[in-house]
């Protein structure tokens, strides 16, 4: 008998995409994130830089804070962050300090992402990408096309 584990990377990335859609609805750049420990979501967040008038209000930053609050400790050991777009330098830096175990992103960000800018994650952090990349980048493209048409 085979048991299908519903809690795979695509399952959690879909939850992060749902957060990105919530950002989209608010007119925010649509990027979403969730943090998971033991197949349980302990933090959900989306980009709120416009709403909060705060350039640091990226989805990952808020998810890190929420997860640490939930766990009652600052380190995110055994946690996985799912984020729809590759983290930027700021978020990669925050993830470094959190010592998070794994980061899974959807689409690459060639210009502002941490990979091309060579921002290091913690040596203990495993980085993986390309999960539902098409959905994540399509949502972002749709946002910028609509924004351009409004101006």
The residues that touch Zn ion, with contacts defined as CB under 5 A, are 58, 88, 90-91
Of these residues, 25, 60, 126, 135, which one is catalytic?
60
Shorter beta-carbon distance to Zn ion: residue 90 or 127: 90
CB of 60 to Zn ion, least distance (A): 5
Q: Answer left, alpha or beta for residue 146, where phi above 0 means left and psi between -120 and 50 means alpha.
A: alpha
CB 136 within 8 A of CB 113: no
Shorter beta-carbon distance to Zn ion: residue 5 or 125: 125
CB of 120 to Zn ion, least distance (A): 15
60 is catalytic: yes
Give 78-105 as a DSSP string.
TEEEEEEE--BHHHHHHHHHHT-SEEEE
d(CA 30, CA 19): 8
Residues 86-97 as b or e (16 or more Cβ within 10 Å = b):
bbbebbbbbbbe
Shorter beta-carbon distance to Zn ion: residue 58 or 102: 58
CB of 90 to Zn ion, least distance (A): 5
CB of 40 to Zn ion, least distance (A): 24
d(CA 146, CA 107): 20
Shorter beta-carbon distance to Zn ion: residue 13 or 103: 103
Active site residues: 60
């Amino acid at each position: 008998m085979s048991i299908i584990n519903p809690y795979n990377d695509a399952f959690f990335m879909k939850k992060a995409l749902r957060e990105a859609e919530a950002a989209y609805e608010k007119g925010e750049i649509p990027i979403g994130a969730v943090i998971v420990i033991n197949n349980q979501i302990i933090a959900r967040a989306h980009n709120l830089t416009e709403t909060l008038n705060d350039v640091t209000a990226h989805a990952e930053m808020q998810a890190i804070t929420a997860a640490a609050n939930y766990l009652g400790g600052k380190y995110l050991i055994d946690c996985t962050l799912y984020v729809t777009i590759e983290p930027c330098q700021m978020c990669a830096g925050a993830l470094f300090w959190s010592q998070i175990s794994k980061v899974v992103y959807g689409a690459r960000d060639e210009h502002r992402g941490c990979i091309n800018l060579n921002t290091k994650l913690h040596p203990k952090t495993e980085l993986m990408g390309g999960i539902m990349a098409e959905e994540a980048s399509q949502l972002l493209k749709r946002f910028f096309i609509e924004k351009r048409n409004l101006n």
